[in-house]
A and B are shown apart, each in its own frame.
Chain A
Amino acid sequence: MNEHPEAEITLRWSEPEASYDVIIVGGGGHGLSIAYHLATRHDITSVLVVEAGYIGGGNSGRNTTVIRANYGIPEAVRFYQHSLERYRRLEEETGRAMMHDRKGLLWMAHSEAGVRRERARAAVNQAFGAETTYLEPDEIAAACPEIDLACGGGFPEVMGASFHQGATARHDRVVWALAEGAMRRGVHVAPRTAVVGLVHDGRRIVGVETSAGRIAAGIVVSAVGGNVTMLADMAGVRLPIKTHPLQAFVTNRYQHRFDPIVASGDLGFYVSQTARGQMLLGAEIDRQPSYSRGSTHDLLASLSHRAITVLPFMRDLRVLRQWTGSCDMSPDYSPIMGDTGVDGFLITTGWGTWGFKAIPAGGEFMAQRIATGVVPELMAPFSLDRFERDRTLADRGSSGTH
């Protein structure tokens, strides 16, 4: 746990050249994963990743690192199950430790409606390849004795839960390993380089204007989190995205191993234990769309109250840090990947609160689309034009909070 394996990773930054085959805007998990897969799977190495801040410093560095596939519709289960399986092999593939830790995920229901929802979810998950079981309250008590099934009498009691494959990984390690893998094969990464405009040639996007000057590109890919609406505006693309803050915090160390990730859709929170033993808590998105990354005491108080009700041992812990990420929420709580209707401009967005778990699959499929021009089958349902075709993917209930 304290061996500091970070020292092994070698990152080399580049001054941007005048022209690239592919420019990826946004050096977070998704942007670097696209670059990594372009280089390793398709031998496309004339690639530049531009990042306004530092790599992994946006939502990749602010999320709560839960990896799961327990979604509510077949398209999403298939997609995230593929991503989950890729994560399992990613340490071996990149040769870099990511602290990938399979610990299971317990998703509780506190109402009749919740029980129906979790049973339905377990059925859909099993049908499409994600191992899931439904647990009755006595089985929950055996799986996680720390849970107070009566919720202290203050909230509706726990009536059942679905139990899924769940894991966590160290977010920085994932971002750095993908960046290193891409750089080794010749991909350029330019941090502290902000995109201030797009270069148009008629209806086509042919490059980006950056703080380091104009750079030409065959294809520009937006892997931006948070500011994606502004970048899409520059391309003339209108998005079904609202950006909401999501707050999380960690406590000091809990002395015992706490195994499953525990989530409650009805109470709107989830808890996992980090590799350092700290308890990591996340909430639902804040109500108001906002680009602010301010954290509020209101959320801290309300989230702590809900969490302590279910897991009473946490009342003895202390809050160490609280932070906020920006979630790009789509109306159907599903990602948006692929073509935008503007030539030379592709997008991967709508990663809301579920982006981290999709980093391997999202990058793999976007790279396939860029390299071959063909939209991969597992990615096709998530196209931007599903909204004008009225073919949205109603997955709100299972997207939950992480």
Chain B
Amino acid sequence: MSMRVLCPHCGPRSIEEWVHGEIPVVPDTITDPDGRDIDRGYMHTNPQGAVREAWFHAFGCRRWVTVWRDTRTDEWIEPPV
């Protein structure tokens, strides 16, 4: 298997060229401001399924792309409705 990220500028490129960027999600159930800071700093939703994330094409055009991925299969997916 080969894993590629689709770059709008360069086309599909090997994952070795990319840097991964998490988009942190703090659940609405955490309402305390300090609690939200701790959660944002340390905790992770770590979902099993669809996740929205950013990739930086470090060894390429050096632009960011935002994509959705299924963490169970590592397939790129359409944004869930």
Q: Is B46 a contact partner of A243 (Cβ separation < 8 A)?
A: yes
In Å, the complex CA distance between A307 and B43 comes to 34
Residues of B within 8 A of A331 (CB): 41-42
Q: Is B44 a contact partner of A239 (Cβ separation < 8 A)?
A: yes
Q: Is A295 a contact partner of B48 (Cβ separation < 8 A)?
A: no
B28-66 Cβ-contact flags toward A at 8 Å (1 or 0): 000000000011011110101001010000000000000
Residues of A within 8 A of B39 (CB): 238
Q: Is B71 a contact partner of A289 (Cβ separation < 8 A)?
A: yes
Taking the closest CB of chain B, its distance from the CB of A309, in whole angstroms, is 15
Residues of A within 8 A of B16 (CB): 298-299, 302
Residues of B within 8 A of A239 (CB): 43-44, 46
Contacts known (A239-B46, A241-B46, A242-B46); A298 close to B14, Cβ less than 8 A:
yes
Taking the closest CB of chain A, its distance from the CB of B28, in whole angstroms, is 13
Q: Is A295 a contact partner of B1 (Cβ separation < 8 A)?
A: yes
B9 part of interface (Cβ distance < 8 Å) = no
In Å, the complex CA distance between A337 and B70 comes to 29
In Å, the complex CA distance between A292 and B74 comes to 6
In Å, the complex CA distance between A220 and B58 comes to 44
In Å, the complex CA distance between A242 and B53 comes to 13
Q: Is B15 a contact partner of A298 (Cβ separation < 8 A)?
A: yes
Residues of B within 8 A of A286 (CB): 15
In Å, the complex CA distance between A110 and B42 comes to 31
Which chain A residues numbered 310 to 357 have a C-beta less than 8 Å away from chain B? 331
In Å, the complex CA distance between A275 and B27 comes to 48
Taking the closest CB of chain B, its distance from the CB of A291, in whole angstroms, is 5
B20's partner among A288, A291, A296 (CB-CB below 8 A) is A288
Residues of B within 8 A of A54 (CB): none
Residues of B within 8 A of A287 (CB): 15, 18-20
A4 part of interface (Cβ distance < 8 Å) = no
Interface size on B, residues (CB 8 A): 26
In Å, the complex CA distance between A121 and B46 comes to 32
Taking the closest CB of chain B, its distance from the CB of A194, in whole angstroms, is 14
B1-35 Cβ-contact flags toward A at 8 Å (1 or 0): 11100000000001110111010000100000000
Q: Is A297 a contact partner of B46 (Cβ separation < 8 A)?
A: no
Residues of A within 8 A of B74 (CB): 288, 290, 292, 294
In Å, the complex CA distance between A227 and B49 comes to 12
Q: Is B38 a contact partner of A291 (Cβ separation < 8 A)?
A: no
Q: Is B1 a contact partner of A291 (Cβ separation < 8 A)?
A: no
Contacts known (A294-B1, A302-B16, A387-B38); A238 close to B43, Cβ less than 8 A:
yes
Taking the closest CB of chain B, its distance from the CB of A184, in whole angstroms, is 36
A201 part of interface (Cβ distance < 8 Å) = no
Taking the closest CB of chain A, its distance from the CB of B40, in whole angstroms, is 11
Q: Is A242 a contact partner of B22 (Cβ separation < 8 A)?
A: yes
A241's partner among B15, B44, B53, B72 (CB-CB below 8 A) is B44
A288's partner among B42, B69, B72 (CB-CB below 8 A) is B69
Residues of B within 8 A of A238 (CB): 27, 39, 43
Q: Is B43 a contact partner of A240 (Cβ separation < 8 A)?
A: yes
In Å, the complex CA distance between A295 and B42 comes to 28
Contacts known (A238-B39, A302-B16); A291 close to B44, Cβ less than 8 A:
no
A292's partner among B38, B43, B46, B73 (CB-CB below 8 A) is B73
Q: Is A388 a contact partner of B38 (Cβ separation < 8 A)?
A: yes
In Å, the complex CA distance between A390 and B39 comes to 11
Residues of B within 8 A of A380 (CB): none
In Å, the complex CA distance between A295 and B18 comes to 17
Q: Is A291 a contact partner of B22 (Cβ separation < 8 A)?
A: no
Taking the closest CB of chain B, its distance from the CB of A171, in whole angstroms, is 25
Taking the closest CB of chain A, its distance from the CB of B52, in whole angstroms, is 12
Q: Which residues of B contact A (CB under 8 A)?
A: 1-3, 14-16, 18-20, 22, 27, 38-39, 41-44, 46, 48, 51, 53, 69, 71-74
A–B complex contacts, Cβ < 8 Å, 11 sampled:
A230-B48, A238-B39, A241-B46, A242-B46, A287-B20, A289-B20, A289-B22, A294-B1, A298-B3, A331-B41, A387-B43
Q: Which 3 A-B pairs have the closest CB atoms?
A: A287-B20, A229-B46, A292-B74
